[in-house]
Amino acid sequence: MERGRQRTRITGPPQNATQTAAESSADDSPSLSPTGLDVRFTLDHQPRGRSTSPAQAYLARPSVDSRRSSSVMSIMQIDQIISDDRMNMETYGVSEIRDGFFDALFLKPDPVNPDEVAERSKAALPKEFEKGHPLSAKHFLPRQLHELKSVTRKVATTRAGIKLLKSFLAFFIAYILCLIQPVHDWLGYNDYIMVVSTIINHPGRNFGSQVDGTVGTIIGTAAGLAWGYVGILISTSTSDALKASGWIIVVVSAVFFAGIAFIRSFFIRLYQTVLCAGIALAFTTLAQTNGNAFTWHKSLQYGIPWLLGQAIALAVNCLVFPDAGNRLLAATFHKSFNTMQESLVIPRPRDTGLRRRLAKTFMDMSLAYRDMRIDITITRFRPNDVRELRNSVQGVVRALLSMNTDTELFEDWSDTLEITVADDAGSESEVEDSGRKVARALSGPTREVIDCWRKHFGPSADVSSDLVPVQLRMQNSLAAFDTAEDHLLRSNDRPETYADHGQAVEFLVFARHVRETAGTVVNLMAIVQDMHTSSKRIRVNLPVYPFGKALYRTNAQVRHDRGGVTAGMYRATFAEIAKLIETTRSTEKHHPRENYEAVTEPEDCTVVESIIHGSPASHKDRLGYKLWKLMRRGQGFETKYAIKVVILLSALSLPCCFESTYSWRTPYDAWWAVAMGWIMIHPRIGGNIQDFFTRAFAAILGAAWSGAAHATGGGNPYVLAVFAAIYMTPMIYRFTQSTHPRSGLVGCLSFAVISLTLRDDSSGTSVTLQGVYKGLVFLIGTIAPIIVNWILWPFIARHELRIALSSMILYMSIMYRNVVANYVYFDEGKDPTPETIRRSEMLESRMREGFVRIRQLLVMSRHEIRLRGPFDPIPYSCLAASCERFFEYLISVRQSALFYNPNYIRDNPVAAEKLHSYRRDAVAAILGNLYILAVALRSERKVPRYLPSAAAARKKLLHRTAEVAREMEEDTEGYELERQKTWSDIYRYSYNASLTGCVAQLEELERFTKLIVGEKKFERPAKRIEDDDEDTDVSPERL
């Protein structure tokens, strides 16, 4: 009867026979509430065992027998990582008690097994790697055919077709108006600006985003025209200035472009504003100029068509299938509920893909709520209600991520199995297997609670939307569960301690997680019910997002249209993580020990904190620090982007400096090269080789299609309209909805501008040649930014991936330090507060998002060509997966530490002094290793072969803890309460297992980091020494 046997786990239950201990996760980690009895899941609870509530009896300090048996179980777990024959546990009574330095053990690392890495990478790689390589010529045509079928089905069956209809309709109306001769005569040669206006701020978005874009584009256009007017006034102010008017215009334009480049890179919300400002400036200073003074007629030729285009787009947005702004939010909630419902199929093996979708759901909920608050919305729900709903959904997701779904609790335990156990006195007694007893008591109530989740989480078409019966059934199910659990824990024949009954502990922890998740579901149902009863009228919600933060955020459609979503969100996510960590560090207070000899005046905390945190001591220092921060920020990517913009656009503007170029730059609209350069140069990402050819092809295709339209009908407006409908429908879809919006934008602008300007050919040049020249202008403006981005500070996904992994390892070291300081070894009376828990959960949420961004970077690396050979993503994916498992164990440690309180060690000065050096070594070994690995990845330096062994340090700590527990056995009467072996005992098992899991994953991190950057061996003199080590370094290729 294998299922009745006790299992000792390090990293969770195996999925199959081939899964190693290090591949499992900390799914058995407890969540924040040990009771799960609260209907409203908030942070205002007090952890059991640290409050004066009657429930304190359930979290009593474990007895010495419990401590000893739990230590034995923990030692058994650490023995699976490091055996006794690899280290010498004898210290001969010598111990190190200094503060600061730690005593490390260096053990020979295990070799890396390539087959094991290859097997593990199958589950670690993102699902995009299951498809053919994007740069493979073999899979190009099949992939395009598949995409065509997918797009056709999507447009025909989903709201993507409505969105495409709105975007195309606005363009087509403006295009038809330009083809009408009276309208063309009224607007003049630049009537095509009306079409460009409908493309830039297309109506395929919600009402609030459309209004925001309309206002922003008009302001930007006005600013560009005004600055161009200033530049022309300066260039024609004197006779000397008139001689160098072209150079003056270039300089004035460069100043303006540098300014709006800074704004474009800093404030994403103003993207549409600065984009239109740059286009208007290029038109004002470069189009149809020959040293003549500026006339208001020219600005009206640009401004009036732009206003008409915005009016058309706004009218289409409001009249054709209007979107009030809550559809995206509803779709996000719907997708989130589907993902959560899928995750409630229990029991089931660990599903890495499903867990990743849950993590992405957690991230998408925050993004959708932020999009709602940032724009005008017309909905029945208040933003505060949506915020509560978002928090509740994220609470359910957080609980589901902490649950181990691979359980044997629901197997058939009806048959009775008697086992014989020998007690300390040598007598034998027959007792029922503890795991079997727990399963028989809790399997029924737990299954009933899960059934309440699955049947009423939708609801589906055959389930009523009335929540009251569901809430009543859930209350009855929870009451039955609580009764069964209380009866089990109060039974007289329970084990003396659960710490050495691994299977029973797993069942209890799983059932407790089900109970806690049920509490979050009850909370979610209550909020949904409140929103359902209070949504009686339609509300107009104005933007309520803080203005300072809103400048760094924008709506979903603008994020899509500007391109580079992955790169931009990756940078923003890691910036938020760094900010949260800096906030956490700024709130930490360092309290030195009174006998700490290095501090001469321990009572003067301000001096100590000033030294530690580097806070300024005078006004001069504060000013200098601010100046340093400003100069440091000036070295960031924003300044580099502004330099690239100035170099690129100044080079493209050079033809206006020479009078001899007027004869060809004006008829061929050469100013569009500058405008396209400004549109296509992205602050974050420049484009890979695939983008280069795709965008160049789009520019050429638009010009060729324009020439074909004119050649076919001789400029007939009906033929032009037909050609425009055929070409622009797929191109607008590519711009507004595909994952390659910038190539779609190039194709749209190329066709719209060239096809409408070829009608006014007065030079006698053939239409075909005119189309070639104008197409060449668009081609140069399209590919020049890509080349500049390749040369100057390029964005390389594989390098960013390495830096991101380095940052994540460093962040985990800081997070580990905070968990140890705030939740494990905190001072007396400094228990974790609700605010501390809230900050920890916020940081954990951002860290989860960080892992999502890392996987996206891993996918981006497939689109890049590497001259030294193909990029191998396997070590990076394995390292990212190990980082994520370490992170999950760290969450488990924090959650378990809330309810397991080792006061018998911390509050006893004798015990604390005995364990001080061991605790220091265990913590410092992990922190040191994480820091070394992070620095090695960032600087691309090889990892030393021998690193401090965290497993050995933890094993020494566990052995010493067991010895201290035995020594304290005779002094435990005053520590024990009436109920000694309940949840505190169980959470102690989970706490120790999670810490041991962190140690196991740390070895995985070291192994995969060495695969990426290599392993550094000892450098010895050039003499022959018989040793296993080689004289040369080990490169990643040899491993």
Enumerate residues 6+ apart whose C-beta is below 8 A from 1027.
Answer: none
User: In the chain, what are the domains?
Assistant: 159-205+207-322+636-684+686-791 (no CATH), 327-420+429-550 (1.20.58)
Nearest to 651 by CA among 487, 781, 489, 462: 781
Tell me which of 425-429, 542-546, 553-557, 887-891 is least confident.
Answer: 425-429
State what percent of residues in the chain have pLDDT above 90: 27
* Interatomic CA distance for residues 804 and 797, integer angstroms: 10
Over the chain, what is the mean pLDDT?
Answer: 76
Q: Is the pLDDT of residue 240 over 70?
A: yes
The more confident residue out of 574 and 34 is 574
Count other C-beta atoms under 10 Å from residue 330's C-beta: 12
Enumerate residues 6+ apart whose C-beta is below 8 A from 793.
Answer: 637, 640, 644
Task: Kindly compute the dihedral angle of the four CA atoms of residues 155, 159, 163, 168, in this order, to the nearest 10 degrees.
Answer: 40
Give whole-number Cα distances, 563 to 163, 686, 781, 870, in Å. 18, 10, 17, 26
Confidence of residue 382 (pLDDT cuts 50, 70, 90): confident
Please, are residues 448 and 478 in contact by the beta-carbon 8 Å criterion? no
pLDDT recorded at residue 748? 96
pLDDT recorded at residue 610? 40
User: ∠1015-1021-1022 over CA atoms, to 5°?
Assistant: 100
Q: Is the pLDDT of residue 507 over 90?
A: no
Whether a cis peptide bond, with omega within 30° of 0, leads into 909 is no
Residue 365's H or E segment, with its range, is: helix 352-374
Whether a cis peptide bond, with omega within 30° of 0, leads into 873 is no
pLDDT recorded at residue 435? 59
Query: For the chain, first and last CA: distance in Å?
Result: 42
Average pLDDT over residues 997-1013: 89
Q: Is the pLDDT of residue 132 over 90?
A: no
Using DSSP, state whether 503 is helix, strand or coil.
helix
Strand partners, 431: 419
Please, are residues 702 and 732 in contact by the beta-carbon 8 Å criterion? no
Tell me which of 601-610, 778-787, 825-834 is least confident.
Answer: 601-610
Entry field: residues in the chain: 1039
User: ∠181-182-183 over CA atoms, to 5°?
Assistant: 90
Strand partners, 422: 428
H, E, C per residue of 794-858: CCCHHHHHHHHHHHHHHHHHHHHHHHHHHHHCCCCCCCCCHHHHHHHHHHHHHHHHHHHHHHHHH
The more confident residue out of 91 and 18 is 91
Count other C-beta atoms under 10 Å from residue 59's C-beta: 27
Instruction: Kindly state the DSSP code that residue 110 receives in the 8-state scheme.
Output: P
Tell me which of 247-251, 871-875, 1024-1028 is least confident.
Answer: 1024-1028
Following DSSP, what letter does each residue of 464-480 receive, concatenated?
----HHHHHHHHHHHHH
* Interatomic CA distance for residues 585 and 576, integer angstroms: 14
pTM across the whole model: 0.79
Average pLDDT over residues 976-1001: 66
Instruction: Kindly state the DSSP code that residue 875 receives in the 8-state scheme.
Output: H
Residue at token pair 């055996």: 83
Amino acid present at 268: I
* Interatomic CA distance for residues 523 and 197, integer angstroms: 47
Following DSSP, what letter does each residue of 732-792 receive, concatenated?
HHHHHTSS-HHHHHHHHHHHHHHHHHGGG--S---HHHHHHHHHHHHHHHHHHHHHHHHHS
Residue 541: both structure tokens together: 């919600």
For 332-343, write each residue's pLDDT tens digit.
888 888 888 887
Amino acid present at 81: I
- Residue 425, classified by CB atoms within 10 Å of its CB into exposed (0-12), middle (13-18) or buried (19+), is exposed
Enumerate residues 6+ apart whose C-beta is below 8 A from 844.
Answer: 887, 891
pLDDT recorded at residue 1034? 42
| Highest mean pLDDT: which range of 81-85, 278-282, 400-404, 454-458 | 278-282
For 611-661, write each residue's pLDDT tens digit.
334 444 444 457 887 788 788 877 888 899 999 999 999 999 888 777 666
Please, are residues 505 and 78 in contact by the beta-carbon 8 Å criterion? no
Confidence of residue 196 (pLDDT cuts 50, 70, 90): very high
For 835-886, write each residue's pLDDT tens digit.
888 888 889 889 999 999 999 899 888 888 877 777 888 889 999 999 999 9
* Interatomic CA distance for residues 404 and 401, integer angstroms: 8
Confidence of residue 94 (pLDDT cuts 50, 70, 90): low
Tell me which of 622-636, 685-699, 734-748, 1011-1025 is least confident.
Answer: 1011-1025
Please, are residues 992 and 866 in contact by the beta-carbon 8 Å criterion? no
* Interatomic CA distance for residues 605 and 611, integer angstroms: 10
Task: Give φ, ψ of 431 to 5 degrees.
Answer: -130, 155
Side-chain-side CA neighbours of residue 501 (13 Å): 25
pLDDT recorded at residue 85? 55
The more confident residue out of 90 and 485 is 485
* Interatomic CA distance for residues 143 and 134, integer angstroms: 9
Secondary structure percentages of the chain, helix, strand, coil, to 5:
65, 0, 30
Task: Give φ, ψ of 109 to 5 degrees.
Answer: -70, 155
Strand partners, 539: 379
Nearest to 521 by CA among 443, 454, 448: 454
* Interatomic CA distance for residues 286 and 662, integer angstroms: 10
pLDDT recorded at residue 996? 83
Task: Give φ, ψ of 974 to 5 degrees.
Answer: -75, -10
